[in-house]
Amino acid sequence: MLNNIKKCFDNYVKISSNSWEELKPILVKKEYKKNTIFCKENQRYNNEIYIESGIIRNFYSSFTGDEININFYQENEFVSPWMYRNIEGRSTLNIEALTDLLIYEFNALNFYELMRKYNDLECFGRLFVEEQLREKTNREIFILTKSAEERFNYFTKKYPGLENKIAHYHIASYLGISPISLSRLRNKRVKK
């Protein structure tokens, strides 16, 4: 199982054996059942995540109580909630298991110490953050400037097959449209 994590790191930058040997002890295996919210707004959650299996969503709760999905993560992906922590270290979003979930958590502070010690881990961190910021910017541009159909096409390219694995109201929330509008878009695509 840990080999998959190493491969995922190596997809960004080749991790040295020394870095890997110091990183392995801080990896903590956790399992969550479907629909478990394991990070809540305004709570401290100081871990980074690697998903071995399952699907996660990040979401905000609006002032009206609506849930607004901002990201989905799947098997063999890293999730870095640090981007959504305030100055006090509290989460500004929620993280939920959309399926049964097997993850490895690693304490952010311990990881940052290793990043200071090892250039390859520092490089990984920088590349990962750059990728996350690009994704965030691209999503904002698509939500603000594209039609619902274009947003749906973007979603299906970014998350191939995900629409068959999670509830459609989660996808509608991510796209900023109603579930009925999503159903129409899906039907239109099937008819083509």
Instruction: Give the pLDDT confidence of 129-182 residue by residue, as tens digits.
Output: 899 889 889 888 988 999 999 999 989 999 999 999 999 999 999 999 999 999
Q: What is the pLDDT of residue 83?
A: 67
For residue 119, give both structure tokens: 């250039």
**Rounded to whole angstroms, how far apart are CA atoms 106 and 173?**
29
Q: SS3 for 18?
A: helix
Instruction: Give the pLDDT confidence of 34-56 residue by residue, as tens digits.
Output: 999 999 988 988 899 999 999 99
Give mean pLDDT, residues 61-85: 88
Q: Give which of 41, 70, 50, 48 is closest to 8, Cα–Cα.
A: 50
Q: What is the pLDDT of residue 139?
A: 86
Each domain of the chain, given as residue ranges in start order, spans 2-118
For residue 180, give both structure tokens: 């009925």
For residue 69, give both structure tokens: 């999905």
Count how many residues are written for the chain: 192
Q: What is the pLDDT of residue 167?
A: 95
Residue where the block lists tokens 């040295």: 16
**Rounded to whole angstroms, how far apart are CA atoms 54 and 61?**
23
Give the DSSP letter of residue 91. Answer: B
Give mean pLDDT, residues 101-126: 95
Specify whether domain 2-118 bears CATH 2.60.120.10: yes
Confidence of residue 103 (pLDDT cuts 50, 70, 90): very high
